[in-house]
Structure 1
Amino acid sequence: MSEVDDAIAAARASWARISEPGAAPLPRSSVRSRAAAGRRLKRIGMAAVAILIAGLVAGLVLPSGIGIMGFFLILCAMVAATVLLSVWPATTERAPPPPDKLRTVDIKALPAQTERWLNAQRMMLPAPAQHLVDRIGDRLGTLSPQLARVEPEGEAAQDIRRLVGEQLPAFVGDYARVPEPLRRTERNGRTPDAALVDGLALIEREIAGMTERLAQGDLDSLQTRSRYLELKYKGDSEG
C-alpha cells in the first residue's frame, strides 16, 4: 500500500470517528464551515424579519393596506433575500499573507497567519494532503497560545519560525510548481503526491512535538502539584 493510500485510509478512519457518538472534536476547518453556515442562516432570518416588519408598517400606513399585490411583493422580497444571502460570503476573507511575509511576521501571530495561507492552498492539493492540512491547522491552533510566553529571539522561537514560517510554505510552494499531470507520475520510486503527503505528515508530527516541548514545564508543574495534593490531603480525608 502506498503512502497516499495510507493517508486516504487515515482520513476515512477520522471521518468514521467523527460520525460516531462521543467522537473527538471536529477539525477547525469543519468548525469554521459550521460557524459560517450559522452566520448565513442568522442573516437570512434577520432579513426575513425586516421585510415582514416593513410590510406590516406599510399596511398600517397606507389607507387601503398592502393588498394581495403587497403580500406577493413581500413574498418575492423574502425569496430574493434568501437566495442572495445564501450565495453571499458569510465573512469577508482577507487575502492570505504571501510566503515571504511569514518569514518576518511576529512569532505570536505566525501560527494563525500560516494556517490562513495554508487554507488558501488547500483546494489545489490532493485529498489525503487536504486531510493533513486540517490536522496541521489543529496543531497550529494548539501551538498558538503557548507562544505568548516564548522569547521572540530564543532558540525555540527560531525553530518554530523555520518550520512554520519557512519550510512549510516553501515545501507546499515546491509542490504547487510541479505541473499537474506530473504530480501522479512516479519519479525515483515516489510520486510528487506521495512526497507531499509524507512531508506534510512529518511537519504535522514535528509541530506536535514542538507543542509538547513548550508545554513540558507546565506538565511537570501539574504533575508535581498533583503529587503534593495527594500527599497533603489524601491521607487526611482517609483518616
Structure 2
Amino acid sequence: MTETNDKVSKALARFDRVMTVIDEKQGPVAQQARRERQRKTAQAGRVARNVVVAMVAVAAITIGVGLVMPIGMFGFLAALLLAAAVVVATYYWSAGGGEPSIPSVPTDVPNGEMVQRFDSFLYRTRRALPAPAQTVVDGITSQLGTLRQTLERTDTLDPDAQEARRLMSVHLPGLIERYANVPAAYRSEVDGEGKTVDQRLIEGLQASRTALGEVNERLARRDLDAFATQGRFIETKYGQTDEV
C-alpha cells in the first residue's frame, strides 16, 4: 500500500511539473511574461532617454562655458568625468537603483501603475512559491486586467481603491516576503492550529484573491449602475411616445 502511494505521489509530482512547463510556455504565466517584457522594454526606453538628455545637458554646459572662456585640457577632462558621473547617476535613478532580491510594490503611485507593479511583483516572486500557491497566484493575475481598467477610473482616496491598494502594496507582498524569510526546512512544521507554513501561505493568497475579486466586482457594478442610470435618463428625456 505504501509503495502504491509513493508511486501515485511521484506521478502527481511529474504531472505538476509538466503542467507548470505548459503554463509557463502557453498559459497565463506566458502572458504575464510578455507583459513583464513590455514593462522592461518601456523602462529601458525611459532610461535611455534620460541618459541622452543628461549627456546633451552636460555637452551644452561645456560648450557654453567654452564660449565664455577657454576650458583647456583639464577642463575638457573634467567635463568628461562630469558627463560620466551624470550618466551613471541618471541610469541608477531612472532604473530605480537596481532590482532588490525580493521586489516590492510602491505605495505612492497612481492606481493603474500600482496594478502593473503588482503584476510584475507576482511574476517575479511566483517561482519561489510552492506549486499550489502558484496556482492561486495565477488566479489573482487573471483578475488584474479588469481591476486595472476599473481602478484607473477610480479616485485614489475611494474606499474600495484604498482597500485594493493596501492588498497589492502592503498585505499580500508582506505575506510573500515573510514566507520567503522562513527557512525551507521549517515550512513543513505544523503550528498550533495544525497548519504548515505552506498551508498558511495558500490560505492567505486565496483570501487576497477573494478580496480583490470583491473589490473588482463592486467597482464594475458602479459602472453598470451608472450606465443603466444614463440609459434611463436618455430614454425618459428623449424617448418617443406613441401619439393616439
TM-score normalized by structure 1? Answer: 0.55
1:150 aligns with 2:118: no
Q: Which residue of the partner structure matches residue 29 of structure 2?
A: 29
Structure 1 residue 144: Cα displacement:
0.5
AA matched with 1:30: A
**C-alpha separation in 2, matches of 1:190 and 1:170:** 19
Structure 1 residue 181: Cα displacement:
1.0
1:174 aligns with 2:186: no
For 1:87-129, what per-residue CA distance to the aligned partner results, in whole angstroms no more than 9, with x for missing partners? xxxxxxx947942x52222222111101101211111100000
* Runs of 4+ that moved beyond 4 A: 32-36, 94-97, 221-229
For 1:185-217, what per-residue CA distance to the aligned partner results, in whole angstroms no more than 9, with x for missing partners? 111210000000011011001101000000112
Structure 1 residue 152: Cα displacement:
1.7
1:197 aligns with 2:205: no
AA matched with 1:28: P
Q: How many matched pairs?
A: 157
Unpaired stretches in structure 2, ≥5 consecutive residues: 1-11, 37-97
Structure 1 residue 180: Cα displacement:
0.3
TM-score normalized by structure 2? Answer: 0.54
Instruction: Note closer, same or farther for the CA distance 1:213–1:143 as it changes in structure 2 (3 Å cut).
Output: same
Q: Which residue of the partner structure matches residue 133 of structure 1?
A: 137
Mapped contact 1:27–1:135 kept (Cα < 8 A):
no
Structure 1 residue 224: Cα displacement:
6.2
Identical pairs, percent? 32
Q: Which residue of the partner structure matches residue 123 of structure 1?
A: 127
Mapped contact 2:190–2:196 kept (Cα < 8 A):
yes
1:103 aligns with 2:102: no
**C-alpha separation in 2, matches of 1:150 and 1:118:** 23
**Greater relative CO, 1 or 2 (CA 8 Å, sep 6+):** 1
**C-alpha separation in 2, matches of 1:170 and 1:159:** 15
Structure 1 residue 158: Cα displacement:
1.6
Mapped contact 2:136–2:202 kept (Cα < 8 A):
yes
Structure 1 residue 29: Cα displacement:
1.6
What's the secondary structure of 2:156's corresponding residue? coil
For 1:142-161, what per-residue CA distance to the aligned partner results, in whole angstroms no more than 9, with x for missing partners? 20011121112232222121
Instruction: Note closer, same or farther for the CA distance 1:170–1:191 as it changes in structure 2 (3 Å cut).
Output: same
Instruction: Note closer, same or farther for the CA distance 1:35–1:164 as it changes in structure 2 (3 Å cut).
Output: closer
